[in-house]
Amino acid sequence: MSVVTSFPLGAATTLAELARDPHPRLALLRAHEPVSWLPELGGWLVTRRDLALSVMRDAATFTVDDPRFSTARVVGPSMLSLDGAEHARHREPFNPPFRPRRVRDGFAASIERETGRLVDALRPAGAAELRRAFAGPLAVAVVTDALGLAGVGADTVLSWYDAIVRSVSEITAGREAGPAGSAAYAELRAAVEGTVAGRHGASLLVAAAQRLALPEVASNAAVMMFGGIETTEAMITNALLQLLGHPDQLALVRADPDLLDGAIEESLRLEPGAVVVDRYATRDIELGAAVIREGDPVTVSLAGANRDPAVFPDPDRFDVRRAGARLQLAFAHGPHHCVAAHLARLETRMALEHLLRCLPGLRLDPDRPTAPEGLVFRKPPTLHVLWDRPG
């Protein structure tokens, strides 16, 4: 029996369906084919949480270090696409500012300042598209400040980011990426080189250049920026969509602001900004009911794992009081757990606090509905909102 006929649900799964509304299909796969072969993906898809954890924890068997890895094809080798000692060598110079004890002291003041500036600019209008008028610029400001990237405006960084995201998504979908992603990375690399050459202040990039070669600093800066913008822009936008789309849950958060952390974790669970992570088998191995061969691509569905009913009862419900919401895997797991997860959480919490406090009556614009979309990175393309303008 062929691998295709052995996994009929996987054979019937399309990438278009996974990009548009993946959750019903992921639930079917998780229940009946938790490790399934998807011909359109050209590899295995893992949707059950326990199996997802086993893949992400075992870098020796399921590696990122493969020439097919999509992000490396755009920006070159980095902490995201290396394993073992090389992964540690690339990641360690970037770790210190993002350790839990240092995040609030290092970033809270600048996040508060930038959040206030953005909200003050929006407040008089009574309406805005918050993904690109708020979440994106805030994410850019924080990550460029964190890295110490000098002399580059938010619009330029967002244009680089958009081009790199498109290229990675095209490669993941099996299509040829155009030249825009490589061109954007070349501009980013030049900006990193300029920052290092100018030895700007306490720049993390300058510090990293004492331990890594300049091309290595640039590739890691790219994935840090890429992850920092994508993770936080999506976190803020998705959390707002969930809260504003569930007025009963929003009322609970307004009545008890301590529930905001739970709301953020629950939003990460329901709609992680990064939907999948890619690995490649280094040897033949059985996983669930599948026999995976050396070299096979293995994609972990974080979205599927995050709605596993064995861990999250009534998994499609948004519940800001859910016990165990932090068991979600939106930041991945194992050696490649997101290095700046604590910063992303702090940034999202402060952003939501500021928006809910300073924009009275904040609500979705009923005339411009939206929904998350995306095969690799998932968030609403726009988030149009209204609020009560000051009298």
Residue 333 has pLDDT above 60, yes or no: yes
Residue 12 has pLDDT above 60, yes or no: yes
Q: Which of 337, 342, 350, 345 is nearest to 268 (CA)?
A: 345
Query: For position 161, what pLDDT does the model report?
Result: 84
Assess if residue 391 is contained within a domain.
Answer: no
Query: Which element (helix H / strand E) includes 31?
Result: helix 23-32
Query: For position 200, what pLDDT does the model report?
Result: 62
Q: At 320, which amino acid appears?
A: V
Separation of alpha carbons 15 and 34, rounded Å: 17
Tell me 63's DSSP state.
E
Q: How many domains does the chain have?
A: 1
Query: For position 152, what pLDDT does the model report?
Result: 86
Query: Which element (helix H / strand E) includes 44?
Result: strand 43-46
Q: In the numeric block, which tokens belong to residue 271?
A: 């709609």
| Cα dihedral 33→35→37→38 (10° resolution) | 80
Contacts of 24 (CB under 8 A, 6+ apart): none
Q: How confident is the model at residue 170 (pLDDT cuts 50, 70, 90)?
A: confident
- Chain segment 253-307, per-residue pLDDT in tens: 999 999 999 999 999 999 999 999 999 999 999 999 999 999 999 999 999 999 9
Q: In the numeric block, which tokens belong to residue 130?
A: 């918050």
Residue 2 has pLDDT above 80, yes or no: no
- Chain segment 343-370, per-residue pLDDT in tens: 999 999 999 999 999 999 999 999 999 9
Separation of alpha carbons 276 and 93, rounded Å: 26
Query: How many C-beta atoms surround the C-beta of residue 182 within 10 A?
Result: 15
- Chain segment 33-70, per-residue pLDDT in tens: 999 999 999 999 999 999 999 999 999 999 999 999 98
**Residue 318 is part of a domain; what is its CATH number?**
1.10.630.10
Query: How many C-beta atoms surround the C-beta of residue 97 within 10 A?
Result: 19
CA atoms within 13 A on the CB side of 333: 22
pTM of the prediction? 0.94
What do you get for the CA distance between the two ends of the chain, in Å? 71
Structural domain boundaries, residue 58: 3-386
Separation of alpha carbons 351 and 331, rounded Å: 19
Query: Which element (helix H / strand E) includes 285?
Result: strand 285-287
Q: In the numeric block, which tokens belong to residue 327?
A: 């068991």
Contacts of 352 (CB under 8 A, 6+ apart): 236, 239, 240, 243, 260, 263, 264
pLDDT averaged over every residue in the chain:
94
Residue 202 has pLDDT above 80, yes or no: no
Separation of alpha carbons 251 and 316, rounded Å: 20
User: Average pLDDT in the 112-138 region?
Assistant: 96
Separation of alpha carbons 386 and 391, rounded Å: 15
CA angle 71, 40, 277 (to 5 degrees): 35
Q: Any idea which of 69-73, 84-88, 243-247 has the lowest mean pLDDT?
A: 69-73
Assess if residue 212 is contained within a domain.
Answer: yes
